[in-house]
Amino acid sequence: LTILGLESSCDDTGAAVVRQAGGARPEILSNVVAGQGALHAAFGGVVPEIAARAHVEKLDHCVERALHEAGLRLREVDAIAVTAGPGLIGGVLAGVMCAKGLAAAAVKPLVGVNHLAGHALTPRLTDALPFPYLMLLVSGGHCQFLVVRAPDRFERLGGTIDDAPGEAFDKTAKLLGLPQPGGPSVEQAAARGDPARFAFPRPLLDRAGCDMSFSGLKTALLRARDGLVAAQGGLTEGDRADLCAGFQAAVCDVLAEKTRRALARAGTPALAVAGGVAANGAVRAALEEAAAGVRFIAPPAALCTDNAAMIAWAGLEAYRAGRVDDMGLPARPRWPLDAASRPMLGGGK
Ligand code: ATP
Ligand code: FE
């Protein structure tokens, strides 16, 4: 099976071709990602209207490049998979419309994919990972533990009750005047910092269960920053590094401890991690340690952040299971991965 996948739910436009022959290892034949960082830089965050327009402009070109790099014509793919939600609705609509156009023109089946399922199934693209496994999905908009039992069966064990860690990384960068997206800049600064200088909170560790909270951490960081600014009139490079290191260490501690509890509850033989924050080296190391005794899988960083290969792969898993959508496939701003919203892949009714 050869699947063309499209992604446009946030600020990255992507097109990719993934192939799996029988039970062989899946292959990523191409994975084109066009970021929009520069377009949004002046606004300190993603502007949905600008993102949607940019997706409309870039999608065709990304699809052409993805097919070209894969050495294929559109008529040679078996199906077209597209992120049908959740995400910024303008961008999701742009992708769904583009995919419908391609499917109609080439007379190919259309498969609507849940973006979160794309993240959550990525470890099966990069590794021979059987079901079930525990997934920590930790991204810009989400943070949850899922027991993944099948391509369309996700059981939620808990998650953040407020902010997602990626959002907290982005806000931390903004508060400290570091470039967006915040994750990579905070990670870089943290590498030079002292994680023990500031005592940041580890919220909800005293409470049973797998729920997490990250909004208090943001407030603590703001207070520490304001304290330094009031005392010294500004921040030094060293202050910034120490604040980032302290913040990152707190995130790692919370994720690691809650992961231990989630593993104990899930009883699965493997822990996998995905989503943009899983690109963070310290987070990966903390989770690997928490996964002692079970197999640990963290896909390469470029497949943890938004990309279309994960959508093509989730589409391939869905298509192989016999799911396809018709031209009525809706674009959904919200589309939770829990049992109430099944089917998660395809059949977007
Ligand atoms: P969602 O998938 O929940 O809809 P999203 O698609 O915006 O949200 P992703 O692309 O999966 O999120 O991840 C982007 C987030 O990951 C951003 O918040 C970014 O700061 C964070 N991120 C990326 N790289 C790193 C890193 N090295 N360390 C920490 N965070 C990172
Ligand atoms: Fe994402």
> Per-residue pLDDT tens for 140-157?
999 999 999 999 999 999
Q: How many CB atoms lie within 10 A of CB 311?
A: 37
Pocket of ligand 1 contains residue 11 by CB under 6 Å: no
115 labeled part of a ligand binding site: yes
Higher pLDDT, 207 or 123: 123
- Report residue 296 as tokens: 């640990």
**Angle, nearest 10°, between helix axes 281-290 and 182-190?**
80
* Exposed / middle / buried, residue 22 (Cβ in 10 Å: 0-12, 13-18, 19+): exposed
Per-residue pLDDT tens for 214-249? 999 999 999 999 999 999 999 999 999 999 999 999
Q: pLDDT value at position 339?
A: 52
Residue 145 backbone phi and psi in degrees, to 5: -95, 130
Lowest model confidence (mean pLDDT) among 27-31, 35-39, 48-52, 102-106: 35-39
> Minimal CA–CA distance to 125: which of 182, 81, 95?
81
**pLDDT score, position 341:** 44
Is the confidence at residue 49, as pLDDT, over 90? no
Model pLDDT for residues 3-24, shown as the tens digit of each residue: 999 999 988 999 999 999 988 9
pLDDT tier at 323 (50, 70, 90 boundaries)? very high
Alpha helices in the chain (DSSP H): 37-40, 48-70, 89-106, 115-126, 165-175, 182-190, 215-232, 237-266, 281-290, 301-304, 309-320
Distance CA 104, CA 96 (A): 12
Q: Is 142 in the pocket of ligand 1 (CB under 6 A)?
A: yes
What confidence score (pLDDT) does residue 346 get? Answer: 44
140 annotated binding-site participant:
yes
What residues form DSSP beta bridges with 81? 5, 111
Residue of 19, 13, 104, 92 lying closest to 60 (CA atoms): 13
Spatial contact of 13 and 34, defined as CB atoms under 8 Å apart: yes
pLDDT score for 43? 76
What does the pLDDT read at residue 136?
Answer: 98
Task: Confirm or reject: Cβ of 10 under 6 Å from ligand 1.
Answer: yes
User: Is the minimum distance from the CB of 172 to ligand 1 under 6 angstroms?
Assistant: no
Write down the pLDDT at residue 54: 86
Q: Within its chain, how far is the Cα of 250 from the centroid?
A: 20
Q: How many other CB atoms are there within 10 angstroms of residue 246's CB atom?
A: 23
Q: Please tell me the distance from the alpha carbon of residue 151 to that of residue 341, in angstroms, as a whole number.
A: 14
- Separation CA 331–CA 87 (nearest Å): 9
Higher-confidence residue: 42 or 147? 147
Is pLDDT at 342 greater than 60 in this prediction? no
pLDDT at 56: 87
Residue of the nearest CA to atom 30 in ligand 1? Answer: 183
pLDDT digits (tens, 9 = 90+) for 265-309: 999 999 999 999 999 999 999 999 999 999 999 999 999 999 999
Question: Does the pTM of the predicted model rise above 0.90?
Answer: yes
Q: Which residues contact 2 (CB under 8 A, 6 or more apart)?
A: 17, 18, 19, 29, 72, 76, 77, 78
The rounded mean pLDDT for the chain is 93
Ligand 1 pocket test: pick from 305, 310, 334 the residue with the most ligand atoms within 8 Å of its Cβ: 305
**Is residue 345's pLDDT more than 60?**
no
Please tell me the distance from the alpha carbon of residue 274 to that of residue 269, in angstroms, as a whole number. 17
What's the CA angle centered on 310, arms 305 and 315, to 5 degrees? Answer: 150
